[in-house]
Amino acid sequence: MKKKSTLITVALSSFLNFSNSENLFAGETTADIYASATISSACTISASTMTFATYTTSEITASSDLTVNCSSGATFTTYITDSPDGGDSLSYKLIRYGTDGSSTANYLLMKLKKNNNSGAAMTSGAATFAGTGTGTGVSVGAIYGIVTASQTGRSGGTFSKVYTLNIDY
């Protein structure tokens, strides 16, 4: 009997030595994990109200300041999308409240200019404001409205129009 227990001890000893070996695997390889995240660019635009003084047949001007807030590094271009409706290629109608503006008595002609009264005409994307976003709101310029002189025969009231600004980014 003693002989059998010696053989078992030798066999277990050999097995335990083999299991502690560092080279149990046939080989080794590696792989990379690529991780990414995307931040979408975003922009907003706001404009102050363009408020004119009372019209007395003399030219009057008013302005609207534009503020753009785009993601840092996002390039943008902003412009008016409306087409002139005042009978020429540069004039818009300010319509008297409560009317359709079809009668001369019910509208005032106005031109829009970029940054000052002698700036580029702001018509259907013809003049633009462009820049690169900083992540905070920044002033990009002003749109000037000019109600031209000598528009007689107009009815009293409040004349207005809403213009659409577009921003591409």
pLDDT value at residue 3: 43
pLDDT value at residue 21: 52
pLDDT value at residue 118: 87
CB 108 within 8 A of CB 163: no
pLDDT value at residue 22: 60
- Give the residue from 77, 44, 46 showing the smallest Cα distance to 64: 46
pLDDT value at residue 115: 93
Q: Which helix (H) or strand (E) holds 15?
A: helix 2-19
Q: Could you tell me the domains of the chain? A: 43-168 (2.60.40.1090)
**Prediction pTM value:** 0.74
Adjacent-strand bridge partners of 69: 44, 137
Q: How far is residue 54's CA from residue 43's CA, in Å, rounded to a whole number?
A: 35
Beta strands in 16-106 (DSSP E): 43-47, 60-70, 75-80, 91-96
Which segments in the chain show pLDDT lower than 70? 1-23
pLDDT value at residue 11: 44
pLDDT value at residue 138: 96
pLDDT value at residue 76: 97
Adjacent-strand bridge partners of 45: 68
Please state the φ and ψ torsions of residue 63, each to the nearest 5 degrees.
-135, 160
Adjacent-strand bridge partners of 80: 165
Q: How far is residue 113's CA from residue 53's CA, in Å, rounded to a whole number?
A: 18
pLDDT in tens, 82-118: 999 988 889 999 999 999 888 888 999 999 999 988 8
